Amino acid sequence: MKIPPYPHPRIAREGWGILAGSLVVALLVTLWSGWVSIPFWVFALFALQFFRDPARSAPDGDLLVLSPADGRIVCVEDAPDPYADGRQTLKISVFMNVFNVHSNRAPVDGKVQSITYFPGKFFNAALDKASLENERNAMVIQTPQGHIVTAVQVAGLVAKRILCHAQVQQTLYAGQRYGFIRFGSRVDVYLPPGSRPRVAIGDKVQATSTVLAVLPEAHSHEQSPA
């Protein structure tokens, strides 16, 4: 098992402001009334668990596709990749509820070819139509073996902000933290034909630790998407 570098706190930076504010409010209300402060402490505890960002160990293997998020598998199917020339792919989707870790990790080693943000709606992220109609951010990666893999952060019913910290031409390692989605959401992964899924609908997965699929071994380098 390889353990990649983990140069960030165990509580996601994206939640520091919310967590600090909720603690300050809870303390102030406590000084006024202990009973009234209970809901504020409950929210502070919820924020603490929501923005947790534990370190994870990644399994060895150059062709492994790691889960980009914690949650439950809601889709394993053949589908065109609308973010990389419409090529046919294996699509795997992970749905995150509000109790899952919402830090997003790169599914493979590779160089970022493009990052595209799409404004949209806020349907329940567990629904299939959320993939193409909800607010989303698509990141296309080319692996060292030439595979094209697309990871799409999709907002959900109460998710109001998608954060992507990766940049075009940046080289990512599998399991590297690259983004965050605030509250319920999903991540779609589009993989090249011949990829072999290791999960099924309904399976619970963990970011970095769970292998979603294995990429094909024999592969000629693909053209980077325009």
Separation CA 21–CA 111 (nearest Å)? 37
Q: Is the pLDDT of residue 78 over 80?
A: yes
φ, ψ of residue 94 to 5 degrees: the values are: -115, 125
**Selected catalytic residue, list 185, 195, 209, 224:** 185
Domain boundaries, the chain: 1-55, 64-214
Of the two residues 184 and 14, the one the predictor is more confident about is: 14
pLDDT band at 225 (very low <50, low <70, confident <90, very high): low
Q: Is the pLDDT of residue 2 over 70?
A: no
**Active-site residue, 185 included:** yes
Average pLDDT, the chain: 86
- Please write the tens of the pLDDT for every residue from 125-168: 667 777 888 889 999 999 999 999 999 999 877 656 788 999 99
The percentage of residues in the chain with a pLDDT greater than 90, rounded to a whole number, is 54
Of the two residues 36 and 116, the one the predictor is more confident about is: 116
Q: How far is CA 171 from CA 66, 166, 168, 187, in A?
A: 16, 9, 9, 20
Separation CA 39–CA 22 (nearest Å)? 11
CATH superfamily for domain 64-214? Glucose Permease (Domain IIA) (2.70.70.10)
